[in-house]
Amino acid sequence: MEERLQKYMASCGVASRRNSERMIVAGRVKVNGVTKLELGLKIDPSIDIVEVDGVKINLEKRKIYIVLNKPEGYLCTLKDERGRKTVLDLVKTEERIFPIGRLDYDTSGLLIMTNDGEIYNKVIHPREKINKVYEAEISGNPNLEEINKFCGGVDIGGYITAPANFEIIEKYKENTLVKITIHEGKKRQIRRMCKEINHPVIKLKRISIGQISLRNLEKGHWRFLSDEELEYLNTL
């Protein structure tokens, strides 16, 4: 049965569908020995031979789903040209996996990784909004006016954020520990939002995505998703 080239690549665990499209446009993909640049191209996996960077790809025999507690100082990419550490240095599997979404280099916490392109798309483009919950240590002690501004939506550079939730966990002399809930995923969004209310982020950690949480997972460690968690992702 025919399917789009980028979807087949994602099913093979090469990369997410979006990143597979970038690989195609960059001329890194061949079908039956011929470089293909068309994003709408359909192939028949039963007869067509697909190569990425000169290596033949095949459907992954086993789908895997992982939660990583990413430490600071790791990139959410498969490879870094500057030789910096990536999340694949922490998660060693026989299957090629890729992260669903990103966490900044200096942000820690929950990251879902898989070789299942369909699950990737369910999380990235869910039918319903998914809450993403973070713990942040911010500079200073925000007042009610600043908190209301944050929750109502702020301008982070030509984009007004959607309503969010901001809960104070603990106040210190010079800093504040807060829990922040958003459902968007703009680049460095929480850091930009906190800066906009004049309380820059000192430390940031994602603790949950929808019903998926870190539980007691230590920083730098990973675990497989439970059957219940996978069932939840399939409902998105």
Query: Domain spans of the chain?
Result: 3-56, 65-127+214-234, 132-209
For residue 89, indicate whether it is catalytic: no
Architecture of domain 65-127+214-234: 2-Layer Sandwich (3.30)
Q: What local confidence, expressed as pLDDT, does residue 131 receive?
A: 96
Three-state secondary-structure class, residue 231? helix
Of 176, 159, 200, 180, which is closest to residue 109 (Cα–Cα)? 180
Q: From first to last of the 236 residues of the chain, give the pLDDT tens digit.
A: 788 999 888 878 788 788 889 999 999 999 999 999 988 899 998 899 999 999 898 876 678 999 999 999 999 988 888 889 999 999 988 888 889 988 999 999 999 999 888 898 889 888 889 999 999 999 999 999 999 999 999 999 989 999 999 999 999 999 999 999 999 989 999 999 999 999 999 999 999 999 999 999 999 999 999 989 999 998 99
Catalytic residue among 44, 48, 89, 104: 104
Superfamily covering domain 3-56: RNA-binding S4 domain (3.10.290.10)
Superfamily covering domain 132-209: Alpha-L RNA-binding motif (3.30.70.1560)
Contact in structure between 97 and 115 (CB atoms under 8 Å): yes
Q: What local confidence, expressed as pLDDT, does residue 180 receive?
A: 98
Q: What local confidence, expressed as pLDDT, does residue 35 receive?
A: 94
Q: How many helices (H) and strands (E) does the chain have?
A: 6, 15
Q: Do domains 65-127+214-234 and 132-209 have the same CATH topology?
A: yes
Three-state secondary-structure class, residue 105? coil
Which phi and psi angles does 10 have, rounded to 5°? -65, -40
* CA separation for the pair 92, 80 (Å, rounded): 17
Residue position matching structure tokens 């230590």: 218
Q: What local confidence, expressed as pLDDT, does residue 46 receive?
A: 84
Which phi and psi angles does 191 have, rounded to 5°? -60, -40
Q: What local confidence, expressed as pLDDT, does residue 156 receive?
A: 95
What value, to the nearest 5°, has the Cα angle with vertex 4 and ends 28 and 129? Answer: 100
Rg over alpha carbons for the chain, rounded to the nearest Å, is 20
Please state the separation of Cα 232 from the chain's center in Å: 17
Query: What does pTM read for this prediction?
Result: 0.77
Residues 6+ apart with CB under 8 A from 162: 153, 182, 183, 184
Q: What local confidence, expressed as pLDDT, does residue 24 receive?
A: 94
